[in-house]
């Protein structure tokens, strides 16, 4: 590694970047992580599907946060559109496909803390608490320059900086997509009735309203609204908001108490034209942004981290240049990311559309899922274990 700071430099200390850093450093790859000092903690939760939980377990992260996670044993989809064509309620039980749970829901602040705790245990991981301000990719190496003046050279840079990725811009990769006329409001709630480890997704004409279990009698809520509604809703007191949430959830969880830390996230669908070019690879939301429907976003990001981890560790062990695998990485991630994007986008647009045939197709699809057991089970298996991508970490195997 003459002249290099590390074999790999990762920019961005969100869940995708931290997971990639842990995957590499725990397999002995010298890794530098450039991560901004945390400002406010992320108010969201993440429903992590089975493969993600296995990967975090294999990386020694899950033991640091499993106590704060709640199992997702069932998912209900309820058509709450009050339209002419409505779908039946569909109920997915993990036991139908031989699983104890589809996955676990955890507050992002606990997930990040667990990742940080594991990262601190790894001697091959150097953490630079700073902001990357420039990325320069050359034939033999890539250099990341930081705000306080340090420069880090490596064979490969992994961009994990979220939607506005510096690495992506430096590699000349375009982001394609569009914004939706939707904002996701996020809340954590206490409630008087148990959730029975069941996530309830109400489909409304402006988007989903999804209650996801947290430990004990608590749940997280992703409440998708028209951006024009945000101002009116954000001035509601906690008691007024609790009453509004109870009304919109048809009191299925009883009396609601809204906790502190609300969030608001404008929604978009965006995909990078390539997931890697030259000596730069992109993971997580630096590579793809999708709407929060069916808990796919971070699960995709963790599969990115697991895949780049597997490729880099393999090349490192074989004595190959780890910066020469970005074409292969792009090829390996495209089908998974594209299929999730298309499915989530179609479902979201079918909710928003007033076009009767599209509403009819959506209702017919949900009707068939409800009635045809093998179809329902195939969709559940694909949701949890995508055919297009099962990197080793997602199967619980160490790198
Ligand atoms: C309302 C909502 C609910 C969601 N729920 C789920 C769910 O249940 N399950 C699921 O799988 N997904 C979910 N998602 C998606 C999930 O939250 C994202 O996919 C995930 O947070 C993206 O993680 P990331 O690490 O790629 O990016 P981020 O979390 O955006 O992290 C990027 C990090 O990089 C840092 N950074 C940026 N630029 C620089 C720089 N120049 N130098 C240094 N650091 C930099 C940032 O400060 C940040 O810490 C949800 C999304 C939303 C909006």
Q: What is the pLDDT of residue 294?
A: 80
Which numbered atom of ligand 1 lies nearest the CA of 161?
A: 34
pLDDT value at position 2? 53
Would you say how long the chain is, in residues? 399
Count Cβ neighbours within 10 Å for each residue of 90-112 and write b for 16 or more, e otherwise.
bebebeebebebbbbbbbbbbbb
CA distance 222 to 241: 13
Distance, CA of 337 to CA of 333 (rounded, Å): 6
In short, whether 383's Cβ falls inside 6 Å of ligand 1 is no
Could you tell me the pTM of the whole model? 0.94
Of the candidates 286, 333, 281, 285, the residue with the CA atom closest to the CA atom of residue 312: 281
Tell me how far apart the alpha carbons of residues 196 and 194 are, in angstroms, rounded to a whole number. Answer: 6
Q: For 83, list phi and psi in degrees, rounded to 5.
A: -95, 175
Residues 305 and 284 sit within 8 Å (Cβ to Cβ): yes
Quick check: 106 and 46 in contact, CB under 8 A?
yes
Pull the structure tokens for residue 363.
């209702």
Return the ∠ at Cα 245 (arms to 241 and 251), rounded to 5°. 135
Furthest C-alpha separation in the chain: 68
Is the CB of 116 inside a 6 Å radius of any atom of ligand 1?
Answer: no
Q: What sign has the CA pseudo-torsion 371, 372, 374, 375?
A: negative
Closest residue to atom 41 of ligand 1, CA basis: 132
| Ligand 1 geometric centre to CA of 82 (Å) | 33
Output the tens digit of pLDDT for each of the chain's 399 residues.
556 889 999 999 999 999 999 999 999 999 999 999 877 788 899 999 999 999 999 999 999 999 999 999 999 988 887 766 666 788 899 999 999 999 999 999 999 999 999 999 999 999 999 999 999 999 999 999 999 999 999 999 999 999 999 999 999 999 999 999 999 999 999 999 999 999 999 988 888 999 999 999 999 999 999 999 999 999 999 999 999 999 999 999 999 999 988 999 999 999 999 999 999 999 999 999 999 988 889 999 999 999 999 999 999 999 999 999 999 999 999 999 998 899 888 888 877 766 667 777 777 777 777 777 777 777 778 777 777 778 999 999 999
Q: What is the pLDDT of residues 327-357, one digit of tens each?
A: 999 999 999 999 889 988 888 887 776 666 7
Residues ≥6 apart with Cβ < 8 Å to 353: 359
The pick from 285, 289, 336 for probing ligand 1's pocket by mutation, whose C-beta has the most ligand atoms within 8 angstroms, reads: 285
CB 309 within 8 A of CB 27: yes
The pLDDT, as a whole number, for residue 1 is 57
Give the 3-state DSSP-derived string for the chain, with helices as H, strands as E and coil as C. Answer: CCCCCCCEEEECCCHHHHHHHHHHHHCCCCEEEEECCCCCCCCCEEEEEHHHHHHHHHCCCHHHCHHHCEEECEEEEEECCCCCCCCCCEEEEHHHHCCCCCEEEEEHHHHHHHHHHHHHCCCCEEEEECCEEEEEECCCCEEEEECCCCEEEECEEEECCCCCCHHHHHCCCCEEEEEEEEEEEEEEEEECCCCCCEEEEEEECCEEEEEEEECCCEEEEEEEECHHHHHHHHCCCHHHHHHHHHHHCCCCCCCEEECCCCEEEEEEEEEECCCEECCEEECHHHCEECCCCCCCHHHHHHHHHHHHHHHHHHHHHCCCCHHHCHHHHHHHHHHHHHHHHHHHHHHHHHHHCCCHHHHHHHHHHHHHHHHCHHHHHHHHHHHHCCCCCCCHHHHCCCC
Q: What is the dihedral of CA 370, 374, 377, 378, to 10 degrees?
A: -120
Distance 12 CA to ligand 1 centre (A): 9
The atom number, within ligand 1, closest to the CA of 212 reads 8
> Looking at ligand 1, which residue's alpha carbon is closest to its atom 6?
46
Q: Is 292 in the pocket of ligand 1 (CB under 6 A)?
A: yes
Gap from CA of 162 to ligand 1 centroid (Å):
6
The CA-CA-CA angle for residues 48, 26, 147, to 5°, reads 85
């Amino acid at each position: 590694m003459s002249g290099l700071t590390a074999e790999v430099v990762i920019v961005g200390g969100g869940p995708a970047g931290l997971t990639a850093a842990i995957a590499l450093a725990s397999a002995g790859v010298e890794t530098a992580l450039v991560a901004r000092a945390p400002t406010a903690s992320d108010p969201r939760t993440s429903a992590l599907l089975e493969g993600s939980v296995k990967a975090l377990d294999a990386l020694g992260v899950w033991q640091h946060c499993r106590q704060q996670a709640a199992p997702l044993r069932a998912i209900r989809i309820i058509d709450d559109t009050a339209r002419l064509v409505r779908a039946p309620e569909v109920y997915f039980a993990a036991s139908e496909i031989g699983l104890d749970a589809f996955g676990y829901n955890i507050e992002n602040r606990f997930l990040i803390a667990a990742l940080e705790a594991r990262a601190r245990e790894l001697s091959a991981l150097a953490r630079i608490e700073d902001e990357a301000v420039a990325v320069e990719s050359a034939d033999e190496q890539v250099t990341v320059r930081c705000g306080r003046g340090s420069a880090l050279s490596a064979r490969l840079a992994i961009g994990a900086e979220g939607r506005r990725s510096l690495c992506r811009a430096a590699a000349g990769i375009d982001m394609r997509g569009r914004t939706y006329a939707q904002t996701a409001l996020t809340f954590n709630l206490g409630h008087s009735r148990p959730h029975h480890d069941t996530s309830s997704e109400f489909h409304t004409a402006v988007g989903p309203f999804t209650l996801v279990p947290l430990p004990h009698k608590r749940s997280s809520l992703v409440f998708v609204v028209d951006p024009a509604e945000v101002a009116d809703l954000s001035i509601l007191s906690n008691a007024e908001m609790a009453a509004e949430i109870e009304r919109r959830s048809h009191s299925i969880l009883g009396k609601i108490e809204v906790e502190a830390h609300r969030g608001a996230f404008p929604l978009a669908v965006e995909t990078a034209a390539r997931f890697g070019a030259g000596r730069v690879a992109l993971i997580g939301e630096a590579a793809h942004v999708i709407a929060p429907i069916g808990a796919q976003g971070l699960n995709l990001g963790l599969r990115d981290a697991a895949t780049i981890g597997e490729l880099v560790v393999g090349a490192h062990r074989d004595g190959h240049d780890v910066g020469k695998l970005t074409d292969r990485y792009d090829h390996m991630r495209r089908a998974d990311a594209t299929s999730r994007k298309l499915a989530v986008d179609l479902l979201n647009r079918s909710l928003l559309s007033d076009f009767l045939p599209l509403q009819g197709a959506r209702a017919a699809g949900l009707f068939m899922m409800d009635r045809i057991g093998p179809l329902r089970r195939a969709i559940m298996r694909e949701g949890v274990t995508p055919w297009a991508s099962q990197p080793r970490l997602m199967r619980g195997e160490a790198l």
